[in-house]
Amino acid sequence: MATELTMPALSPTMEKGTLAKWLVKEGDAIKAGDLIAEIETDKATMEYEAAADGRIARLVIAEGTDDVAVGAVIALLASGDEAAPELAMTDVVPTEAPAVARAEIPPTPAPVAQPVAPAPEPMRKRPSPADRIKVSPLAARIADAKGIDLEAIAGSGPNGRIVRADLGVASLLAIPAGPVATAVIAAPEIAPPPAGVPVESVKLGSMRRMIARRLTESKTSVPHFYLTARCNLDPLLALRGQLNAALEGSGVKLSVNDLLIKALAFALQEVPDANVQFGGEMLHRFGRVDVSMAVAIDGGLVTPVLRDVGAKSLSAIATESKALAAKARDGKLVPDDSEGGTVSLSNLGMFGIDEIMPVINPPQALILGTAAGIEQPWKVDGGIKLATIMAATASFDHRAVDGATGAEFLRSFKTLVENPLRIAA
């Protein structure tokens, strides 16, 4: 019997992906672990490995197809000389792919069911225990994990197929779907470019579309509030110079960003009520600090995660952060590199930016944005001198963090930056 190969969920936020390229063709024999396709997700382009031996009987989705839903059948894997089975359209999870991609599926008449009175209502067939329950692979996995009885659910997919939306997953995951849905419905239509102005229109990649969707969701469903502290960077810069001199020849060189990551982790350890996540009826308070580090790449932004930063030395942070940034720019991040994170850091100091007010990276409740160090008059040791001053702005989810807690966190961060010996221990 042929095995269905489906679009995998390669990241926690992935709902759709682009089947960028097939690395096999129909008739090819493959082994478990062979690379068979390249899939572009909201994070990066990743390679899809075969999970079993067999022969590619049919490529259901053409390469280059956008918006292929997670769980959609993309290919059929046969064993030995087994012929490719006929694939009814009810067995394919619908996508938003162009018609040319769907034309790759040879038209095959579906089995004709015997008429039953009364005739089933189109698109809302309620499966009975005697019938085969039509359900997408993703919906089946979710139902199994959540203990959902599929026999009691009316599917909204083609011919009554049960899809993820029918399972009420949003409420099960405690995601406040109501405000998001309202904001999306109320959003204005996308306006065309003004007439008569020269313009080049480029189709958005799946990463940019995902960034647009997630950040729109963040700004319309998460009540942001912002606090800014201006920090004297000179003590931290002096310590960095001393540490790098001591590390000379070791292959490790500390950046300002490495020290800011450590200061962020220490501040959250001192103010654990800011290291939290809103969970509907629950508030999740984390026992360690995992920092999502914003890295700009071609076509978008990714946030690989440095885990348990409070327990790492500065040299370990420097080594790991540089390795993750290199993987991100080379498009080699794997899902484990970006999953989780309790807080985000977006540092634009290298671009000479005076101040940044970052958008929260959901479902986190805090992102810290740091700007460039700018030399200006400042009160130092009781007198007015030139000092290197950095604006640090924190964006908080007001459902999870109150103003006083946010202020306490930012005060702790400022104190650590201006007295950095504590983070060097």
Torsion of CA 174, 179, 182, 187, to 10 degrees: -120
Out of 102, 284, 322, 398, which one is annotated catalytic?
A: 398
- The number of angstroms, rounded, from the C-alpha of 124 to the middle of its chain's C-alpha atoms is 32
Told to judge if 398 belongs to the known catalytic residues of this protein, a careful annotator would answer yes
DSSP annotation string for 192-243: PPPTTS-----PPPHHHHHHHHHHHHHHHHS-EEEEEEEEE-HHHHHHHHHH
Token duo for residue 274: 């800011």
Q: Is the peptide bond before 118 cis (omega within 30 degrees of 0)?
A: yes
Helix (H), strand (E) counts: the chain: 11, 18
The residues near 112 (Cβ < 8 Å, ≥ 6 apart) are: none
Q: Is the peptide bond before 363 cis (omega within 30 degrees of 0)?
A: yes
Give me the amino acid identity at 22: W
Tell me how far apart the alpha carbons of residues 374 and 392 are, in angstroms, rounded to a whole number. Answer: 12
Tell me how far apart the alpha carbons of residues 370 and 260 are, in angstroms, rounded to a whole number. Answer: 9
Tell me how far apart the alpha carbons of residues 26 and 244 are, in angstroms, rounded to a whole number. Answer: 56
Token duo for residue 169: 């997953």
Q: In what order do the strands lie in the sheet with 305-306?
A: 224-232, 383-397, 366-380, 343-347, 291-293, 305-306
List, by residue number, the catalytic residues. Answer: 398
